[in-house]
Amino acid sequence: MVVLVLLAALLAAAPAVLAQVPASPAQPPDEPTGEPQPNGPEEPEPGEPPEPGVEAPGTGVEGALPRTGLEALRIGAFGILLLLSGARLRVLARVRQVRDHVRRRLSSQARLRESLEQLRADAAELSPPEVEPAVSRVEPTTPTARRVAGRSRS
C-alpha cells in the first residue's frame, strides 16, 4: 500500500518536473541543404499556411513516443501503479467472494441444524408405533428353518 502511495506522489510531481525541463533541443536544427528529391512530395512555401485538415509534421503529441527519460519514467510508473492497483482489487474481490461463500454455507448449516432439532423434538413427543408380530403362512423348507420354527418331521 505504501508503494502505491509513493507511485501516486511520483506521478503527481512528474508534470511539474517535466514543465521545468524543455522538451525541445537547445538549438534548432540546421536547414537541410541539397536538391529536392525527384518524385518527392511538394513542400509548401515557408510563409504559406498548411492546408486545412492536414497536420504539420512534428506538432502533434498524441500517440508519440516519449521524448525524455522523465516522460518514459512517468509512463512506466503509471503502468506499475495500474498493475499494482489491479492486483489489489483482484485480492479484495476474491476475499469478498470467499467471505460471501462462507456466510452462505454457515447460514445453510444453521438452518439445517435448526430443522434437525425441530424434527428430533417432534419425534420425542410421538410414541413409537406398535408392531404386531407377523404371521407367516410360508412353511419352512430347510431342516434348519423347520427346527427353528419347531416343526420338525421326525
Q: Taking residues 84-97, what's their average pLDDT?
A: 95
pTM recorded for the entire structure: 0.35
Give a yes or no: residue 47 inside a domain. no
Residue pair 140/149 in contact (Cβ under 8 Å)? The answer is yes
Task: Tell whether 99 is covered by a domain.
Answer: yes
What total number of domains does the chain contain? 1
Determine the pLDDT at residue 87.
95
Residue 25 lies in a domain: no
pLDDT at residue 3 in the model: 60
| Domain annotation covers residue 128 | no
Which residue in the block uniquely carries the three cell numbers 447460514?
Answer: 107
Please indicate, yes or no, if residue 65 is contained in any of the structural domains: no
88 pLDDT exceeds 90?
Answer: yes
Domain that holds residue 5: 1-17+70-117
Residue scoring higher pLDDT (74 or 7): 74
> What's the pLDDT score for residue 128?
75
Cα separation, 16 vs 33, whole angstroms: 38
10 in a domain, yes or no? yes
Q: Is the pLDDT of residue 96 over 90?
A: yes
Q: Among 84, 88, 89, 75, which residue's Cα sits nearest to residue 11? A: 75
Phi, psi torsion values for 125, nearest 5 degrees: -75, -30
